[in-house]
Amino acid sequence: ARSVMPFSLDHGNDAQRNVRNLNLMNGGDTGSIDTNDGSSKSKPTAVIVGLSPTTEESVLEDLVRALYKIGYPNVVTELTNGESSTNTQGPEYRYQYSMATGMLKLLSSPSTSFDPPRWVPVVAGEENILVANGWSFLDPDESEPASAFDVDAANDEGLYKPKWGSAEEGLNDENASGVSCDSLSTLGYDLTPMSFEQVQSQADKLLLSLSRTVLLEGKTDPPNEKQTNNGYDFSGSVRQTDIQEGTFMCAIGGLPLFSSLQLSPTTSSSGWLSFSLPISDDHILHIQPKEGAADKRIEVICAKSKCHLGHYFGKSEGYCINASALNFVPKRSHDNVSLRSTPVSWRNLDQLHDSPSIQLLVATLRQTMQMETIVLGAGCFWHVELALRRLPGVVSTKVGYTGGTTTSPTYQDVCKKETGHAEVVAVRFDPTVLQLPILLDCFFAMHDPTMVRSLGNRAKETGQYRSCIFLSNKQMKEIAMQSLDGCAEQLGKLVSTEVRLMDTPMDDWFWPAEERHQRHDERTKGNTGDDIISTLSATQWLKTYGRRADSIWGTAQTLDELSAQEDPRDDGMARMMI
């Protein structure tokens, strides 16, 4: 049995709940649904299911009004308390309200010539829906007459698919960026073991012949020869004022192993470099001696290259390491040649502020690495930032405003639609980990670049939410234009994305947003228990944020199943890709 509260535009039926109580008679639009006779009972009926008897009157009014406005002449609400039933005549189209999306979703419909809308917005106006729900990426479809947020249309239009991310091509992360996120260390470094060929290739480029025999053959530096592979001499006493601050990297693979702050006082009296601790426990491996072996020492090898470094003598004496197995990168160095390895993920590095050695490593990386910055806009900057931060090689992000005519705008200023500024995310990234073409491919895949959503303004280069790219050098612009042309060619449509080369310092044209907007979703959703912040490989990222039905979501049925898994904490962004 079901308890039904019917509503009808036929307000002469006193047995039904009178629509005048819903204030729907003024301006009620019956839309385009048509039937062959004049009886409202034989016309299509929309049934709203799954409502609680305690549902507020104002909520009921909004739901019913939404269905009337798209043309249903009869709307009934089915409650869940199991009371007596009321039968309806004519075909029934069952809808359920989705809190995650703020829309009514079609659950079932009879086989008729009428093709009902699958999603019905409850809040009037597309822009209001975006604002009310905080959705992120630009809407893939604004032309569908029945529902501006139709999921099927979203799967058919503007679906840019980078070739390296196509499932049927059998491509993987190595084809995209050459990095993996399956074996990240505590500090965000890729610990995937190097191949024999990779080790041999880097060994051929070592600066000291001694380094090769130590690293590959397990030999030992002559006593008191404390010179690193790249020429830094640590002979003599330690803790002198002339000892530079910096980080010791493995000479093959470049994994950071020890910090100058961890040099032991015994180094001055020892014939080799001595360290109290490694920079991270998972960056080195201890190899126990075989049973019965004459040499009882614990060998120390690099976790990535598996090359010999030295020995471990327990907590009291620490690590005795061959200097020739290491490269030393000073804090204020520009020697990026010795910096063979950089973090894939910067998340833990940003959080481990209490460790002086980690602080020194971060300072060394920032001073030595050649990083690039690009500013991207694809909708609400809260969600765009969260998505982009999960790409490998992204060092930092900052949300803000640019592209307009005013200086130092506030969020309130931008929302008034008078400044011409867009909500954007400034992305600082490591091009050795995340190549610019890969980053741009991900940007085009995360939203529909063929449509212009500008909070009411359809003209290109206007509006708070729009597709845009801002760059600071000509080479980056050339790459961006190539990516844009490739996207347009694949889609067979004009791309509305604005690409602008800025010829002045970034401080002159990018204004950071207020602090409450920085890393908003990470702060507000990161404690839900779901992993929404971990770094993903490029192909994993596309599976999460790329709007590509065939290679990511699978069939339309797959999307339906995902949509059915409602979660009140979910704003619908990942599934709806709006």
* Residue found by looking up tokens 């290679």 in the block: 551
Instruction: Find out whether 283 and 303 touch, Cβ atoms under 8 Å.
Output: yes
Label residues 163-181 b or e (16+ Cβ within 10 Å = b): ebbbeeeeeebebbbebbb
Instruction: Find out whether 360 and 245 touch, Cβ atoms under 8 Å.
Output: yes
What values do phi and psi take at 299, rounded to 5? -75, 145
59 DSSP β-pair partners: none
DSSP 3-state of 164? helix
Catalytic residue among 307, 380, 442, 487: 380
The C-alpha atoms of residue 365 and residue 396 are separated, in whole angstroms, by 13
DSSP-assigned states of every residue in 230-247 = TS-B--S-SS-TTPPPEE
What values do phi and psi take at 285, rounded to 5? -125, 140
* Residue found by looking up tokens 């890969």 in the block: 438
Helices (H), 32-125: 57-69
Label residues 1-39 b or e (16+ Cβ within 10 Å = b): ebbbbbbbbeeeeeebbebeebebeeebeeeebeeeeee
Size of the chain in residues:
578
Pick from 6, 4, 23: nearest CA to 65 = 23
DSSP 3-state of 227? strand
Nearest 10 degrees: Cα torsion 541, 547, 553, 556: 170
The C-alpha atoms of residue 120 and residue 97 are separated, in whole angstroms, by 9
330 DSSP β-pair partners: 246
**82 Cβ contact list (under 8 Å, min separation 6):** 1, 2, 3
Instruction: Find out whether 216 and 265 touch, Cβ atoms under 8 Å.
Output: no
Clarify whether 380 is annotated catalytic. Answer: yes
Active site residues: 380
